[in-house]
Structure 1
Amino acid sequence: MAELLTDQIVRRASAGSRAQAFFWDDQIKGFALRVTNRGTKAFVLDYRIKGRQRRITIGNYPDWTVAAARDRAKTMKREVDLGGDPMGARHEDRQAATMQDLWDRYRDEHLVHKTDRSRKDEAAMWESLILPALGREKVRDMSTDQIEQLHWDISEKRGTPVRANRVLEVVRKSMNLAIRWGWRSENPVTGIKKNPEQKRERYLSSDEIARLNAALEEHPEQVSADAIRILMLTGARRGEVLNATWDMFDLEKGIWTMPSAHTKQRRSHRVPLATSAVELLRRLRETSKGRYVFAGKSPDHPLTDIKRTWKSLCQKAGIENARIHDLRHSFASILVSQGASLPLIGAMLGHTQVQTTQRYAHLYDEPLRGAAELVSRAINGTSEKPGRGE
């Protein structure tokens, strides 16, 4: 029998020997107090939507008073009258994808198409930076302010502004995918400014290269030393060299063909090899026992790291402030000095975008200045002309 729910009725209510009992309110249809045989009391609302009977829990007593629960029941009833479904909305909210869910799908569907190095790097960003801060947040509720705060924390608290920019790029891409998957409608990363980054331009001089070659000759770890030699002779990326397998090479024709899965740009890349590179590879092939050109601890696994060797070589050669990747920049600078064009350099390095190669354009300043001087001498009548007898 329904009656007006009051604080006195709620306090006295008991399920007795029943598993649960309901005490219905006579003013708001469907509003009731539910009591279990363990004494737990909660306010509920029954309603019908699209022919389906629903029951939603408003809140437990005494956390919710009768008056507060009644007001909430009225609000829900109005929502139902307008076509809403409070219980459905609650279920939808519980099932809404979190940032952890986004990472799981991003990892399984997007990250698998990237190189090993990229996969490890992005996984580290998610697991150590993004998920600890935002893992439980709903993807649809992520705000620009939250992501901007994450970017600031990584930049300022951790003191790694460049890393913060990389995290921002990863979150931006994941949010674009979330939009494609229907998890949200806009990208909250849009409009967030990156930290300023100074493009690094370090090229080994001819003297530094000579000292490096001398140090390589004396280095005790020849496998890693030879890997660095190939880096110098091809301009390839570290991962491309360390993961190279013998089936990629045609040493008779002097060609290294990297499959798409092996390159950063995800396209196959054909690299013509210099005679010295071919000779070095032939020497390595004679003693190789596995599929990898530069084997690690076993022939079936590649060499994974040459940082220690690089540090030792730089100390021996007296080279400061140089990274392994600077060998790639140095390769490009030598090509420029020998008169190679930007398209040719791009082809040698496997660039797919012109702007990537354009970073080396300033290296043409001196050759172009020399050409301008030739024109200037001709115009001013000071160009040297060969004598009659020559």
Structure 2
Amino acid sequence: MGERVNFTAGRVKAFQCPAGASQAFLWDTGAPGLALRVTPKAARAYVFQSRFGGQTLRITIGTPRTWTIDQARERARELQRQIDEGRDPRAVKAETVQADLAQRRQERAEALTVAEAWAVYMAEGKPRRKDAWKPRYRADLEKAAAPGGEKRKRGSGLTKPGHLAPLMPMRLAAIDGDVVRDWYASEAKRAPIQAARAVAMLSGFLAWCGTRKEFRDLVDRDCARASELGDVLPQKRRRTDALAIDQLQPWFAGTDKLASAVARAYLQALVLTGARREEMAAVRWADVDFRWKTLRLADKVGDTRTIPLTPYLADLIGSLPRAKLVSGKSNPFVFASATSKSGRITEPRSPHEALLEAAGIPHVSIHGLRRTFALLGEAAGAPAGAIAQVMGHRPSAVAEGYKPRSVDALRPYLGQIENFILDKAGVVFVPAEPGGNVVKIDSLEPKASGQAAARATRRVAVRS
């Protein structure tokens, strides 16, 4: 094995590799298997050599610049003890390195903030069984996590932080039931309903984290579920607001008094189809087929759904002008708006609330107009399955799920509902004869209480 000496600093420093040799070893008498290895270029390192499993084993310990003689001797004794215990020092080192890497990965993972995981969620997350979030819900997610402090797009001042913003700087691993409760209690003081909605968003985010291998060990995916927070979340109240049959006449008359023809057509279209507000607002001219009398809607449940274009609704849409964008190009949206960034109607509540107030009708939300269609559809005698399919609801029974109706099969039912609504609203609509004019007769006065209907009417040529 070569020369053996008692290692001293001087001997270690003075030892050289003989000329012509690829390396030389100086062995220590103070620790078994410890040697100093020197190369022709004077590179020095302490090494340990022994036998394991019938084979020679050599392991580099380190250079004399970083290891003292005593440290090198202790490391050599430790390696020999591992061999005596039947363990391969190389495997022990590999296990130590892997454990250290795992520890560091765990520390980095535990330092991961909610904001960092949220960024991945916004880039790669999506609802189950769907390709992507709807644009409006995605915008709501972005708004909920926004830090605020930006200039408002409308009015003066700065935007407020979203309800999820206080959680963003926190460590993802620190989000537990207590944190969620304290956070919700604080946010509920500002806006309880929106804070409760933020809880649902947080629950969806944590559930998604639970499906990702890099996040699943860091989150309690159930800590934001409504069942866990039932004692603090506001009780869900099922909204039932809708127009009553007796309110249809003043409501339709009120739409005719609106300054905006687009708002008038949009609100009536919601009642006549039961579409969701965003579905109808997003309708483009390319979605309206006057020849084959169909209307395509961006569906919440699926990608799109196609419903019949009934005569009155076709006339209502056809009477709208083809608007222009600021750029001079044609506006693709049916219910166009010159003031909205998107180019389409975005906030119909203001004209609708003015209409209700002028007509003396109690508050009915925009979504209440969707409920109005469902209730009037039942009153008109249309099958529940046909009503649900027009509205874009999932089938309510297994039987309905196996017999989706074609557009032509839906047409008589939707026409039946439209005729019922127009009759109760006091609107007499005469469809156009081929090549003729469309004539619409609207009742502008509500029926006198306790008397026969003495209707004041007007005759308007709507469209050729």
* TM-score of the superposed pair, with normalisation by structure 1: 0.64
Amino acid at match of 2:140: D
Q: Is 1:292 the equivalent of 2:333?
A: yes
Amino acid at match of 1:178: C
1:50–1:209 distance in 2 versus 1, CA, 3 Å: farther
Amino acid at match of 2:216: R
Question: Cα deviation per residue 1:17-71 (whole Å; 9 max; x = unaligned)?
Answer: xxxx9999x99x89xxxxxxxxxxxxxxxxx99648xxxxxxxxxxxxxxxxxxx
Q: Tell me the residue number matched to 1:124.
A: 143
CA distance in 1 between counterparts of 2:91 and 2:108 reads: 20
Q: Tell me the residue number matched to 1:372.
A: none
CA distance in 2 between counterparts of 1:85 and 1:292 reads: 60
> How many aligned positions are there?
288
Which of 234, 246, 267 is matched with 2:273 structurally? 234
SS in 1 for 2:125: helix
CA distance in 2 between counterparts of 1:330 and 1:93 reads: 56
CA distance in 1 between counterparts of 2:259 and 2:199 reads: 42
CA distance in 1 between counterparts of 2:162 and 2:335 reads: 33
Q: Quote the RMSD (CA, aligned, Å).
A: 3.5
Which has a greater percent of helix? 1
Q: Is the 8 A contact 1:231 1:241 kept in 2?
A: yes
Amino acid at match of 2:113: T
Question: Cα deviation per residue 1:328-378 (whole Å; 9 max; x = unaligned)?
Answer: 0001110111122322221121112528x9xxxxxxxxxxxxxxxxxxxxx
Q: Is the 8 A contact 2:322 2:334 kept in 1?
A: no
Q: Is the 8 A contact 1:232 1:327 kept in 2?
A: yes
SS in 2 for 1:114: coil
Q: Tell me the residue number matched to 1:319.
A: 361
Using the TM superposition, give the Cα deviation of residue 285 of structure 1 relative to its aligned residue in structure 2, in angstroms.
5.8
Q: Tell me the residue number matched to 2:305.
A: 269
Q: Tell me the residue number matched to 1:107.
A: 122
Amino acid at match of 1:290: N
Amino acid at match of 2:396: V
Q: Is the 8 A contact 2:145 2:168 kept in 1?
A: no
Using the TM superposition, give the Cα deviation of residue 294 of structure 1 relative to its aligned residue in structure 2, in angstroms.
1.2
Question: Cα deviation per residue 1:77-129 (whole Å; 9 max; x = unaligned)?
Answer: xxx98x88467524542355321022112212235822222122222222234
Q: Tell me the residue number matched to 2:247.
A: 208
Q: Tell me the residue number matched to 2:425.
A: none
CA distance in 2 between counterparts of 1:91 and 1:113 reads: 31
Q: Tell me the residue number matched to 2:24.
A: none
SS in 2 for 1:269: strand
Q: Is the 8 A contact 1:139 1:184 kept in 2?
A: no
Q: Tell me the residue number matched to 2:373.
A: 331
CA distance in 1 between counterparts of 2:103 and 2:175 reads: 18
**Within-5 A mapping of 1:3-82:** 51=93
Q: Is 1:89 the equivalent of 2:112?
A: no
Q: Tell me the residue number matched to 2:180.
A: 147
Which of 221, 232, 235 is matched with 1:187 structurally? 221
Q: Is the 8 A contact 2:250 2:359 kept in 1?
A: yes
SS in 2 for 1:113: coil
Over 3 Å off, 4+ runs: 21-24, 48-52, 83-88, 128-131, 285-289
Amino acid at match of 1:291: P
Question: Cα deviation per residue 1:230-255 (whole Å; 9 max; x = unaligned)?
Answer: 11211111111111101112112221
Which of 199, 205, 210 is matched with 1:168 structurally? 199
Q: Unmatched 5+ residue regions in structure 1?
A: 2-20, 31-47, 53-79, 358-390
Using the TM superposition, give the Cα deviation of residue 268 of structure 1 relative to its aligned residue in structure 2, in angstroms.
2.0
Q: Unmatched 5+ residue regions in structure 2?
A: 1-7, 9-64, 76-89, 147-160, 325-329, 401-464
SS in 2 for 1:325: helix
Amino acid at match of 2:142: A
CA distance in 2 between counterparts of 1:153 and 1:298 reads: 36
Amino acid at match of 1:263: D
SS in 2 for 1:271: strand
Using the TM superposition, give the Cα deviation of residue 256 of structure 1 relative to its aligned residue in structure 2, in angstroms.
0.8
Question: Cα deviation per residue 1:197-228 (whole Å; 9 max; x = unaligned)?
Answer: 11010121123221111111121122222211
CA distance in 1 between counterparts of 2:312 and 2:264 reads: 15
CA distance in 2 between counterparts of 1:202 and 1:212 reads: 14
CA distance in 1 between counterparts of 2:270 and 2:240 reads: 18
Using the TM superposition, give the Cα deviation of residue 325 of structure 1 relative to its aligned residue in structure 2, in angstroms.
1.0
CA distance in 2 between counterparts of 1:142 and 1:84 reads: 28
Q: Is the 8 A contact 1:49 1:85 kept in 2?
A: no
Using the TM superposition, give the Cα deviation of residue 298 of structure 1 relative to its aligned residue in structure 2, in angstroms.
7.3
CA distance in 1 between counterparts of 2:92 and 2:347 reads: 63
1:149–1:342 distance in 2 versus 1, CA, 3 Å: farther
SS in 1 for 2:320: helix
Q: Tell me the residue number matched to 1:249.
A: 288
* TM-score of the superposed pair, with normalisation by structure 2: 0.55
CA distance in 2 between counterparts of 1:311 and 1:51 reads: 74
SS in 2 for 1:257: strand
CA distance in 2 between counterparts of 1:151 and 1:137 reads: 15
CA distance in 1 between counterparts of 2:135 and 2:122 reads: 12
SS in 1 for 2:296: strand
1:131–1:121 distance in 2 versus 1, CA, 3 Å: closer
* Percent identical residues: 21
CA distance in 1 between counterparts of 2:92 and 2:361 reads: 76
Question: Cα deviation per residue 1:173-208 (whole Å; 9 max; x = unaligned)?
Answer: 111211111112451325413431110101211232
CA distance in 1 between counterparts of 2:367 and 2:190 reads: 25
Using the TM superposition, give the Cα deviation of residue 152 of structure 1 relative to its aligned residue in structure 2, in angstroms.
2.9
